[in-house]
Amino acid sequence: MKIYRNVQDILKNHKGGSIAIGNFDGVHRGHQAVIQTAGNLALKQGLPWGVLTFEPHPKTFFQKEKTPFRLTPFREKARYIEDEGVDFLVVLEFDGELANTPAEAFVSNVLLNGFGARHVVSGDDFVFGHKRCGTVDFLRAKGQELGFDCTSVAQVGGSGGEVISSTRVRELLSTAKPSAAAQLLGHAFEIVGDVVQGDQRGRTIGFPTANLIVDGGMRPSLGSYAIRAGLVGADGVIWHDGIANLGYRPTFGSDACLLETHLFDFTGDIYGRTLRVALVDYIRPEKKFDGIEALKAQIEADCGLAREILANKGPEFS
């Protein structure tokens, strides 16, 4: 997948395509429906298949929100979009200039002069342009006027009938329901980072951990989780079952929020390596223990429960 940071850089072979447009935080099943609709149209008409998104998330720009809310930082968002099979991704910087661009100018400068779009696909609640004046109806009318087609995709419902949204996924993660969140995402929620050196207490009690600093993205409920951890290497990703604790280690005290991950039946030095930790199911809240022996006994029990959980999970956790 080719990534562009400016519409003026789009190569000739990627112009005149079918374009999915949106923020796509989480790249959940609703987002996937928008992207795949654009892909189906591209395949049917023999067009390039592209995605247009924005960084940083517009919510960050407008609200200057201090509490991290992103489900997928850019690198992970791009990876999920690439997994859909897209030919190219355009990432526009969301700044004051773009925020103040009138909807009509956005259509002309970006969609027509930049993409040369033949077909534009969005969710039916998508808005754009200065003061959010660009609606799906506006986009459809401009398409009829200027010669491109416009398709809006209705919100997708989960198995229980609830509408799939990034907001709902955040609610599930913040209330310790990662399995339910994965059903809406279509994949497990992941925390991704480079392994840093901790205080190495885990190895002294038989449970060495790979530690990630949790910073910048949405923070799920603190506590212990059954996880699958993907160790990223030159030849791809190798997955391991395991258990992880997300929190501040109240037994010892810490100012930093860490994800401490213990990989089952694994040995090796992975400091500095990138680790993708997929949260499969919640085991228990974070708690303070009276001492090392009590902590060790709890970890042993948690590991046993995690192995049972991981043996019975579906394809979204594979």
The pTM (predicted TM-score) of the whole model is 0.91
pLDDT for the residue 288: 80
Residue 313: what pLDDT? 75
pLDDT (0 to 100) of residue 316: 57
Structure tokens at 255: 């100012």
So what's the pLDDT on residue 318? 60
End-to-end CA distance of the chain: give it in Å, rounded. Answer: 23
Q: What is the pLDDT of residue 64?
A: 67
The answer to whether 260 is a known catalytic residue is yes
Q: Which two tokens stand for residue 114?
A: 């930049």
Domains for the chain: give ranges and CATH numbers: 2-153 (3.40.50.620), 189-317 (2.40.30.30)
At residue 136, the 3 state secondary structure works out as helix
In which order are the strands placed within the sheet that holds 119-123? 2-4, 88-93, 49-55, 18-21, 119-123, 149-153
Per-residue pLDDT, 293: 85
> Given CA atoms 306, 312, 317, 318 in this order, what sign does their dihedral have?
positive
Radius of gyration from C-alpha coordinates of the chain: 22
The secondary structure of residue 97, as a DSSP letter, is H
> By the 8 A CB rule, do 260 and 206 touch?
no
> Edge-to-edge strand order for the sheet containing 274-284?
190-194, 274-284, 223-233, 236-247, 258-263, 210-213
Q: What is the pLDDT of residue 157?
A: 85
Going from the C-alpha of 17 to that of each of 50, 69, 88, the distances in angstroms are 7, 32, 10
| Catalytic residue of the set 55, 93, 260, 300 | 260
Residues of the chain with pLDDT under 50: none
Say if residues 230 and 237 touch (Cβ distance below 8 Å): yes
State residue 253's pLDDT score.
61
Backbone angles phi, psi at 281, to 5 degrees: -155, 155
